[in-house]
Structure 1
Amino acid sequence: MVASIEIKLIASDQIFSIIPLLQTLNSSISEAILHDRLNEMVDQGYQCAGVYSDNKLIGICGLWIITKYYVGKHIEPDNMLILEEHRSKGLGKQLMAWVYDYAKSQGCIASELNCYVTNEKGQQFWENEGYKRIGYHYQRPIEPT
């Protein structure tokens, strides 16, 4: 039997359902910290698309819609993940097609994202999606005073 796949925005009151998937990306961040950060992120405009197979969450893609002077209004996919046992079935492409349609409906004219330099599979996926490398992502901690 073929599973029923649905892609939709996860309601803000259900946002914590993504925590188990986020922990597969980085198990060093505690559930409590993820809960606190998600609360802040939702307040800052964060949304998340979910991929459901027979009503079970099997994939996510965080979404930020922002405007920057050099690109205009755009969507930024963030921490896109399909659970390992559901990969290589075209779900990532389906999810991104949904994201692009959603972006258009919100008036976005582009999409840009970050991908870790160690994530070679991710880099290949994004390049296959038509993304071009245009820069480097830097990070610096700010020490508390």
Structure 2
Amino acid sequence: MDTSIEIKLIPNDKLISIIPLIKKLNPTIPETTLNIRLEEMIAQGYQCAGLYKENKLIGICGLWIMTKFYVGKHIEPDNVFILPEYRKQGLGKRLLQWVYDYGLFQDCIASELNCYVSNETGNTFWEQEGFEKIGYHYQKPLE
């Protein structure tokens, strides 16, 4: 195991550090909009785990902990991203294991997430992680 890798919860006052990685995931959204949304998300309980190599942020996994009638208290990974040069090294699995362990520590009984239908690589990854497709995620603009 690479001991130069560290996974830890990013403190709220340091969450702005994730914006460059979030921008890579959402290249069409202006950075100012991402910053505004991050502030709103933090106020709604958003957390983020950071994957660091020698103190450089190389990956992230946003986290939501919530309770819903059909599943109970659960942890939801959100916007999981690892810089391309660090992929295919098992770091995604390490990051997610940290998330699952954190969820257990927070008394979560499950993990669930959303993944775009068009993201075939992501869907394959999540299925290999043991996630099952149980429904559809719908969206309707309110404009």
Normalising by structure 2, we get a TM-score of: 0.97
2: CA distance, partners of 1:132 / 1:22: 25
3-state DSSP class of the match of 1:7? Answer: strand
1:3 shift after superposition: 6.8
User: What per-residue deviation string (whole Å, max 9, x for no partner) do you get for residues 102-141 of structure 1?
Assistant: 0000000000000011111111110011000001111110
| Off by >2 Å, runs of 4+ in structure 1 | none
Supply the RMSD in Å over aligned alpha carbons: 0.9
In the TM superposition, residue 31 of structure 1 has moved relative to its aligned partner by: 1.1
Any gaps of 5 or more consecutive residues in structure 1?
none
Cα distance in 2 for residues equivalent to 1:29 and 1:56 = 24
Secondary structure, in 3 states, of the residue corresponding to 2:96?
helix
Report the counterpart of residue 129 of structure 1 in structure 2.
129
In 2: Cα distance, 1:71 partner to 1:117 partner: 22
Consecutive unaligned residues in structure 2, runs of 5 or more = none
The equivalent of 2:78 in structure 1 is 78
Contact 1:66–1:75 at 8 Å: present in 2 too?
yes
What secondary structure sits across from 1:45 in the alignment? Answer: coil
AA matched with 1:62: G
Equivalences for residues 81-92 of structure 1 within 5 A: 81-92=81-92
**What amino acid is the match of 2:12?**
S
Is it true that 1:29 corresponds to 2:58 in the alignment?
A: no
Identity of aligned residues (%): 66
How many residues in Structure 1 have an aligned counterpart in Structure 2? Answer: 142
Does residue 102 of the first structure (1) align with residue 102 of the second (2)? Answer: yes
The superposition leaves residues 74-112 of structure 1 with CA deviations (integer Å, 9 ceiling, x where unpaired) of 001001011111000000000000000000000000000
